[in-house]
């Protein structure tokens, strides 16, 4: 049974508690969606429908917010999110090469999650560390000037342990 199966499930019960707690806030939608993503790991359409109906909002409004902000995801996310910077400085210094090495090393394309659910490969605009270009971020950790596959694999290995 998937995490989203059954609206009577434990996860929906937790989400309902969150909604009850937050629904009187002036604009509860983003906060509720953040909590929903923490609970479910991502925001499939059934969860969005549940949030919409509980908050009395049109589903289009909820969907609009989920698709507008890149910290919301409609697909399952890996334990570690790898964000490769594709801002101008990083692009010039070889962000494409980093993405290609990541894709080959992880066996996924940009936007996908590895089969073991350990990594999601994603891209992001300038993270403010241009002097280290090309840059990628894993969770809270920023890595710059990774110029060889050996270095890249050593970094990924830290998260594989």
Shortest separation between residue 121's beta carbon and ligand FES, angstroms: 16
* Binding-site member from 65, 89, 110, 118 for ligand FES (CB under 6 A): 89
Footprint on residues 54-73 left by ligand FES (CB under 6 A): none
| Residue that the structure tokens 């937050």 belong to | 22
**Contact call for residue 135 and ligand FES (CB under 6 A):** yes
Phi and psi of 33, rounded to 5°?
A: -65, -40
Shortest separation between residue 95's beta carbon and ligand FES, angstroms: 7
* Binding-site member from 126, 138, 155, 159 for ligand FES (CB under 6 A): 126
How far apart CA 130 and CA 124 sit, in angstroms, is 13
| Residue that the structure tokens 């909604």 belong to | 19
* Binding-site member from 57, 127, 138, 155 for ligand FES (CB under 6 A): 127
Looking at 23-31, 35-43, 74-82, 88-96, which segment touches ligand FES (CB under 6 A)?
Answer: 88-96
The answer to whether the CB of 134 falls within 8 A of the CB of 125 is no
**Contact call for residue 130 and ligand FES (CB under 6 A):** yes
* Binding-site member from 53, 67, 88, 117 for ligand FES (CB under 6 A): 88
The answer to whether the CB of 107 falls within 8 A of the CB of 101 is no
Q: List CB contacts of 111: < 8 A, sequence separation 6 or more.
A: 121, 122
**Contact call for residue 98 and ligand FES (CB under 6 A):** no
Two tokens, residue 147: 């110029």
Two tokens, residue 90: 């990083």
Q: Where are the beta strands (DSSP E) in 5-161?
A: 80-85, 119-124, 135-138, 141-144
**Contact call for residue 99 and ligand FES (CB under 6 A):** no
Give residues in contact with ligand FES (CB under 6 A): 85, 87-90, 126-130, 133, 135
């Amino acid at each position: 049974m998937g995490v989203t199966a059954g609206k009577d499930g434990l996860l929906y019960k937790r989400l309902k508690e969150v909604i009850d707690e937050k629904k009187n806030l002036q604009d509860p939608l983003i906060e509720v969606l953040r909590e929903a993503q923490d609970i479910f790991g991502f925001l499939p359409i059934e969860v969005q429908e549940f949030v919409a109906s509980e908050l009395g909002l049109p589903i289009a409004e909820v969907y609009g917010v989920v698709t507008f902000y890149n910290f919301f995801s409609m697909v399952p996310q890996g334990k570690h999110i790898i964000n490769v910077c594709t801002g101008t400085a990083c692009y010039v210094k070889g962000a494409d090469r980093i993405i290609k090495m990541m894709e080959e090393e992880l066996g996924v394309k940009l936007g996908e999650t590895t089969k073991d659910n350990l990594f999601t490969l994603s891209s992001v605009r300038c993270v403010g560390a241009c002097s280290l270009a090309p840059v990628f971020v894993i969770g809270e950790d920023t890595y710059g000037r990774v110029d060889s596959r050996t270095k890249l694999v050593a970094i990924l290995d830290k998260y594989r342990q």
